[in-house]
Amino acid sequence: MHNLSKAAHAVLIGILCGTLAMGTATLGGCNSTQVEADIQKVIALLPTAVQIAGSILNIVSAAEGNSAPSAAVLDTVKNASGQVQADLTLANSLVAQYQTDLASAPAGVLGQIDAAVADAQQNIAAILSAVHVASATVIAAVNSAIASVQTVILALIAVLPAPTTAALFPKLTASLHSAGIQPGSVKAGVPSPHAFAKSFNNDARIVAAQQAYPNAQIKVPVPHARIFGVPLP
């Protein structure tokens, strides 16, 4: 389990350092217009993150009868991945309502966001614990999906300076600390939904899982991106 968590963390850091452009946007370091723009970028990523969370179940379900995940494992992953999707959907809705001034949202709303995203993180831990007995291909693909979801979680809190994050989101901060992730340690720019989905689909671990289980819906739809009206590949 410890090695699996370390592997997931390594994938996460790889995505943060390789896929995302480094930035320094914080509430204390830029104007409110920039903060709002950063939050909007994160909001745009959340639907894809929800789909990636759903792909975790598809990966494990596809392996049933091959690498033989037990019914208990499958049930745990089904419940946990479904809860991650619900948590991120709720967080998306709440953040979207207060994107112009997230730090000044009512305490009850901030508490809901904190609880939802912390719960998502805890369910991620449950998935990691459940799949550690699966095949190497399944474990690697699940690690990739989890790292992608955590990238969006970190991007969400990266628009706030670390002290504010700890004060506003204590449950999430504690949950990330328990996973060995230090909020605020990396200030990351946010990719487009198009780039984010393509990066996930093209990850070698996801490609390997899709090849092993061609009938499974593991890869996620890539949102359309256009330049001067011309769709990108």
Residue 109 within any structural domain of the chain: yes
pLDDT > 90: percent of the chain: 31
231 assigned to some structural domain: no
pLDDT of 96: 84
138 and 146 in contact (C-beta within 8 Å)? no
Average pLDDT, the chain: 76
Query: Considering the domain boundaries, does residue 118 fall inside one?
Result: yes
- Rounded to 5 degrees, φ, ψ at 13 are -65, -35
Residue 111, pLDDT score:
87
Q: Global pTM? A: 0.77
Q: What is the pLDDT of residue 25?
A: 35
* Burial (CB count within 10 angstroms: exposed 0-12, middle 13-18, buried 19+), residue 115: middle
| Cβ–Cβ < 8 Å for 190, 42 | yes
40 in any annotated domain: yes
pLDDT band at residue 172 using 50, 70 and 90 as cut-offs: confident
Q: Does some domain include residue 171?
A: yes
| pLDDT at 210 (0 to 100) | 95
In a domain, 73, yes or no: yes
- Structural domain contains residue 111: yes
Beta bridge partners of 230: 227
What is the span of the domain harbouring residue 44? 2-216
Q: For 219-233, what is the mean pLDDT?
A: 67
pLDDT per residue as tens digits for the range 191-222: 889 999 999 999 999 999 999 999 999 999 99
- What are the C-alpha distances in Å from 232 to residues 74, 223, 226? 37, 10, 6
Tell me the pLDDT tens digit for each residue of 9-60.
444 433 333 333 333 333 334 455 666 777 788 888 999 999 999 999 999 8
Better-scored residue on pLDDT, 144 or 102: 144
pLDDT of residue 31: 52
Tally of domains within the chain: 1
- Is 230 a member of any domain? no
As a whole number of angstroms, the distance between CA 176 and CA 60 comes to 24
Report whether pLDDT(68) > 90: no
